Structure 1
Amino acid sequence: MPKKAVELGALQVSRLTKPGAHAVGGVAGLQLKINDAGARSWVLRAMVAGKRRDMGLGGFPDVTLAQAKERARAARDQIHAGADPIQTRQEARSAAAAASAKAKTFDQCVDAFMKAKSGEWKNAKHRAQWQSTLDAYAKPVFGNVLVHDVDLAQVLTVLEPIWPVKTETASRLRGRIETILDWATARGYRTGDNPARWRGHLDQLLAKPRKISKVVHHAAVKVDDAAAFLTGLRSIEGLSARALEFAILTAGRSGEVRGARWPEIDLQAKVWTVPAERMKAKKEHRVPLSKQALKLLEQLPRIEGTDVIFPGRKGQPLSDMSLTACMRRMKVDAVPHGFRSTFRDWASERTNYPREIAEMALAHTIESAVEAAYRRGDLLTKRASMMQAWSDFCERPAEAAAVIPMEGRKPRRRVE
């Protein structure tokens, strides 16, 4: 039978200074271990599952003798019940560490998501829009909330006040919150349904956006004023004015024009090929160049050190506001993007060109999946005729404009 250790008092324990293991009694196997540096800690030596194990109980004097005995007795009770207190503690620590690693706030998930998806943003403006809407609306409500605790009530607190008055912004914000929460679920930071999902969930609680939102079109120059505007624009010097002129003649988007590069231009073929990464639909787009567009390009200077056609500072593309600022200086109540509407109105009201040619000129996505599957070409030759007609129209007085028939197409006979 093993010798039972003499039970020491608190004062006796405090006087132990010799390195080694000192049995203190009171609980079988309870020892105070002292290392060579003089540090003291409590250890329980016990047989666990047939093996002798040492279980740490904390340092002395932070853990008093009475507390060490209490912990030792609790551990012995677990061993007696067939449990392994050391393994149980390791599992608890592991679970706590795992929970801590998953304890991410919504804001932390936003930051991590933005970083992880940095290569997918169409442009810096798109990324900034994501960040600004989440910062403005979601952050004040649940930015500091652990992402696994974000619930329906919090999502509605964000969305309901702005849903009727800023419907488009609110709808986009909802989708962005849903995306962040989906990302957090995929990373293991939360479980369960997404409280920001629309179908079968928020669509039952919020009005459908298309039922309450008012469509606000881009302010556009009237068709009959296009020629006068272009005349005024050509009197203005600077690359911003030339970029706007090129955008008008090609019916291109501002971003496509500002990012245009000389290698994309084939002067011989009279075609500008916009790469997929700069297109809204992420599909390469060929733009036929009219005589006026080609003349504009031929008169532009080539800036050394950059292949950007309309460079701003340090050879980089012009800023997003450069074309808008140009129109503001002309005191015209319209925006650059509105000229795409002007072009579309001209094509439908002043010409006989089919709708699909005008839509393709604008690089609009084909809504019909069946039509998209069967359409292989881009109608470049027919679009070249239309873009030349558009450029010609923009150079003559509105009263001289007439219906422009599509080449090779005879007017239909009217049946009485």
Structure 2
Amino acid sequence: MQKALTNKTLEALKPQQKRYEVHDLHCPGMSVRVSAHGQKVFSVKFRYGLGQKRMKLGVFPRITLATAREKAQDILRQVDEGIDPTKRRRSPDMKVEAVCGEFIRLHAKARNKSWREAERILEREFVGTFGQRDIRDIKRFDVLEIMDGAVARGSTYQANRILSNIRKLFNWCVERGIVHATPINGLNVDRRA
């Protein structure tokens, strides 16, 4: 069954002997399942690879219709970008190590012939230092610390490579909504302060 879901239509859905599903006309892929006990659960269906998947969004009215649609749109956007949201959901911690791995797999490999060099630099310098920290907690001074270490070893060139790769990583994170803003805007190896 398909309906243009509203709060009124959701409240009017009554339990039946068997569980049933109502698909939302305003958000293709999203539906609400009504159990025999009257529980109303939002979910979203999507194709990833060859398989069809379903993700639970929440129970009405604890989660609003508007929030369910936002979550569904976000999940469908991830699928369009080649991300399996069922895997991302299982690792919501956003640790530096996991995010760098996704960045290399989804971005660097596809766009950069020298992605192995980017992976090596990020693994050694960034993941090696902050691997288990939440990437959203990384601050400007954390990146400066890594760059200062490279300069102290006598490698300004390496400091530039580190900065370049971390900048690309954070720009990708901003595009994906992992972080709201990059902590290294305007940062330059020659004018660190």
Calculate the TM-score normalised by the size of structure 2.
Answer: 0.49
Q: Computing the radius of gyration over CA atoms, which structure comes out larger, 1 or 2?
A: 1
Larger proportion of strand: 2
